[in-house]
Structure 1
């Protein structure tokens, strides 16, 4: 009987120990699971923070791209509007010219076409056969029409006929030279030379021009120069 009781109590003891061990294991497992869950949540939170930062940077870049595109669109729109206005002004100018020419033809009056341009600063040729840009126009008739272009240095004929051209140049100082030619549509017409100690030289020709023919003065040699103020370019229409 005593042995049975002992065995029974021992069995209860073993069961209690086993239950305690199982309880400890389960508690540890739950604790570990909770710890792993918190760790996973921390990693998820860091990942979300990183994604938010990346999206913020991407949003700023997209905003900057949109701003650049808007600025480009505005600039191109303004350029287009400016070109449209220039084209409209040019068309109006040609219409006025055509109207004036038709009226003068009916009345037998010969319209005046003339210009006088001056070189306002010394000019040194950066290459052979470079156009001399006489940049100050003191007279250009008819007014509000582009005959002589100060940017290109070329005169464009708007009414065919015979024209008188004259150009004068001055050397820029001792040892300098200015050899220039008058050119019509790329063809050499005449030349003159000014050499040394501020010497000046001039020449003139009479040409027949068709509509849109161009005439200009060019330097012959790279490095040669012409003197400001005394260097001029002049033309006027003589007759049909």
Structure 2
């Protein structure tokens, strides 16, 4: 049976509002001028510690990460939405594939979000930031998901909205499909993915068509 691994932010959900608020609150808590929303958006998809480092935090970065997580957990369910066609994509994918999540978000909070939206039950595994030493674009998260599912690479696909997802899939030796979203420019995505679809449902339909299922 096919396996489809989904990225989370920008692929199935949009938590931009929660992420931006989290960064603003944390910078203010530590007496720093908040980074602009545009600066933060360009980094979404990277692990939190790397995001903060790229925004100029060189010391005590894990204090910032922990403060962010504390605030994010309080607001994430109210300020996150399932993307259009995301649930339909999950249900369609479930008809012909086993499903997993591979994200750089904290796995615990990601699971809570997906349970809130009533879709966690469709996924066999969820690999988050705390489950790996090397997050995407390293192949470790994808390889760990496949290992936990006892699945082989030949049957596996990755769907994601950034080059981090595409590079991780390529390095892991599995097939991949990009989806369009605001976190990654089309120009960049074209450098990382040969196939790019307008949303996750179109990506699932493409995989089903290619797989002749």
TM-score per shorter chain, which class? under 0.3
Length-normalised TM-score, structure 1: 0.23
- Asked which structure has the greater CA Rg, the reply is 1
Length-normalised TM-score, structure 2: 0.25
Ranked by relative contact order (alpha carbons within 8 Å, sequence separation 6 or more), the top structure is: 2
Which structure's residues are more often helix, by fraction?
A: 2
Which structure's residues are more often strand, by fraction?
A: 1
